[in-house]
Structure 1
Amino acid sequence: MSDHNESSGDVDIAANLATIQHNIDEAAAAVNRQSADITLVCVSKTHDAAHVRGALEAGRRVFGENRVQEAAEKWPGLKQDFSDVELHLIGPLQSNKAREAMRLFDVIETLDRPKLARTFARLRDETGHCPELYIQINIGQEPQKAGIDPADADAFIRECIEDLALPITGLMCIPPVDEEPAPHFALLGKIADRHGLKVRSMGMSGDYECAIRMGATHVRVGTAIFGHRAYNIGENA
């Protein structure tokens, strides 16, 4: 991992994106899926606006950020030139940052606990607005990771949808780094199927092709597009 961001001149972002799209197309075709049904979330966390602009100019419009503050600083200027961007929050969210996150992001992928769900519901009632939400499942039951335990997922999903009437459209997971990801992706798919949730955000730079073969609708790719980051926040790309 490098100590500094590589400048946009050091990384051919358009070529990287073309390679990734080719891999997405092949992984989808291998399981008789349409690659148009798979959304590439370009994980731009820690990369500056000039770096991100390379992906925007290559036609990409769906991006993932880990931090509310970083997104608030980076994206307003970019959105002046690219107004059709869809911005996803893929990092952990403190309840006290929920209001700003709901204003900044089109999708929040990291709804991971009842307190946050209740905060979203309260702010939705207050403002009349709520972004699309995915529930994060701690698919490998790892103590250091955020997310709902798979055993608790059904009850929590029902609470969010039926009791709080939140706009839950899918699930997100990050499998353990030292385990075969396919069984974890399969489990996320089973949980999603039980609740009629179509969106499965799973798969990152190292395993997105496997995730697509296992039914991912969204893959979160950062390093394979932009190069190494200056620092790492969480493990969501």
Structure 2
Amino acid sequence: MKILYVFPHPDDESFGPAPAIAAQLRNGHEVYLLTLTKGEATKQRFRLGIDKEEMGEIRFKEMQCVRDVLGLTGMEVLAMPDSGLKELDPRQIEEEIKTHVKKLEPDVLVTYAVHGISGFEDHLVSHAVVKSVYCDLKREGKAYPQRLAFFTHYNENKGEGKFNLTSSKEEEIDCWVQANDEDYQRFHDALDCYETYQQVIEESNVKNEVGKRVPFEIFQEKFDPPLADITDRLK
């Protein structure tokens, strides 16, 4: 089946979902990535002494490394303003996403959970616009996507990373994707592609925070016990 992940920034696909993405590809699914910005506003540009345009191009090249490491079926990176999605007319973002979805016709559409995990505004906007696109396509009677899933975070104990992350409640999680050792290594290798972001990766403790079981919520569906794959029970 076809799975399309939609995230706002470079590295969003690697900070958590990457073990699941690797597992999905290993299990024969086609996995595509649509990233809305080039991540040019990162504060790492000040450390490197470069402007936003150059930072965006560097991060785009790092994403190409991620594409190859994970073995993504396809990847597209747009040039919307990093840290500025909230200032855009949401219909503009929705039309860009809808055009991509209609071209690809994925079975499952994936983005951030409503809390955005980190609470970053671009994450929250992405949740809202992707959900709107999904609902619009349903109202139009499209057969795709069959399902909307939300990548989320779950941790009973507060981690040791620099950032305060928001977890979904255990009962809200509808799917756990189990990664194996090879998938988990691809996750680490994908993070290593972001050479300019290694300080943040280390401070976030993401390589230890993320386990081999990746949680997802599923929109307007409830599964207890949770599914083992976000494509389960689809035709």
TM-score by length of 2: 0.33
TM-score by length of 1: 0.33
